[in-house]
Homo-oligomer: A and B are copies of this chain.
Amino acid sequence: MPYDPSAFPPFAVTVDLVVLTVRRHALCALTVRRGEPPFQGRWALPGGFVRADEDLAQAAARELAEETGLRAHDPSVPVQDNGAHLEQLATYGDPKRDPRMRVVSVAHLALAPDLPAPRAGGDASNARWAPVEELLQQGGYGRDGEPVAPLAFDHAQILSDGVERARSKIEYSSLATAFCPPEFTVGELRRVYEAVWGVALDPRNFHRKVTGTPGFLVPTGGTTTRQGGRPAQLFHAGGATLLNPPMLRPEV
């Protein structure tokens, strides 16, 4: 492999973000409306060019902050703040994925608690949380009966990969807590699993599992009734990041 700078073609490198959250019992992704061609007016994943002096993770964290105001969560610190979980997802480099030029996109996956309104560089009308179920159905119709236009570029594929990563990763890690506020109840955590997986879980077995796993949940001492019913204990995420044995996703 001789090194010849003229031997390689010019590439643009971008980061695209799959930002997931749980709203109203549904797994939702952040989308922004494209203001210029190609795919003008269509929804797309947020993203942008990597700058000359930036690492890929830095670029992703910068884009995340620009779009949502969220700080990226430092993986070396336990998840207790409002920072979002951010990890690299995969890289997409089909020569024809962008009709304008050769663009390689390093997709990242971010998990966030339910947020106030999104902002797309300050323009909230061009950003929204959409249920991934709507975004991924091909040629279907949204909840309002309007036909759903597919996402721009290969973003449907990227979103699909990100959702699958999130679905599998909450099985064997404590990542589901990244969807929760700093303090949460067992029931709220269970509803996260139910929304991400799209299944119903037995509250009693779930409670036994998560409270019986050492280091997963730490009681804060407080209780809340914000879900109605009997007051529930409040917890925050413990130091454990790996769940062993894993939480089993029910068969479909």
A78 to chain B, nearest CB (A): 21
Residues facing B in A72-119 (CB within 8 A) are 88, 90-95, 100-102, 104, 106
Is A93 a contact partner of B13 (Cβ separation < 8 A)? Answer: yes
The CA of A62 and the CA of B198, in the complex, are separated in Å by 40
Q: A104 contacts which chain B residues (CB < 8 A)?
A: 11, 13, 50, 56, 104, 106
- For residue A12, CB closer than 8 A to chain B, the reply is yes
Number of copies of this chain in the oligomer?
2
Q: A9 contacts which chain B residues (CB < 8 A)?
A: 51-52
Choice from B2, B11, B48 contacting A12 with Cβ under 8 Å: B11
Q: A129 contacts which chain B residues (CB < 8 A)?
A: none
The CA of A217 and the CA of B102, in the complex, are separated in Å by 43
Q: A94 contacts which chain B residues (CB < 8 A)?
A: 55-56
Q: A5 contacts which chain B residues (CB < 8 A)?
A: 12, 101
> When each residue 122-153 of chain A gets 1 if its CB lies under 8 Å from chain B and 0 otherwise, what string results?
00000000000000000000000000000000
Tell me the nearest residue of chain B to A49, going by C-beta.
Answer: B8
- For residue A252, CB closer than 8 A to chain B, the reply is no
Is A36 a contact partner of B93 (Cβ separation < 8 A)? Answer: no
Is B3 a contact partner of A36 (Cβ separation < 8 A)? Answer: yes
Q: A36 contacts which chain B residues (CB < 8 A)?
A: 2-3
Is B1 a contact partner of A47 (Cβ separation < 8 A)? Answer: yes
Q: A56 contacts which chain B residues (CB < 8 A)?
A: 91-94, 104
Is A55 a contact partner of B11 (Cβ separation < 8 A)? Answer: no
Which 6 pairs from chain A and chain B are nearest by CB? A9-B52, A56-B93, A8-B49, A91-B91, A11-B13, A1-B48
Interface residues of A (CB under 8 A from B): 1-3, 5, 7-13, 36, 47-56, 88, 90-95, 100-102, 104, 106, 121, 246
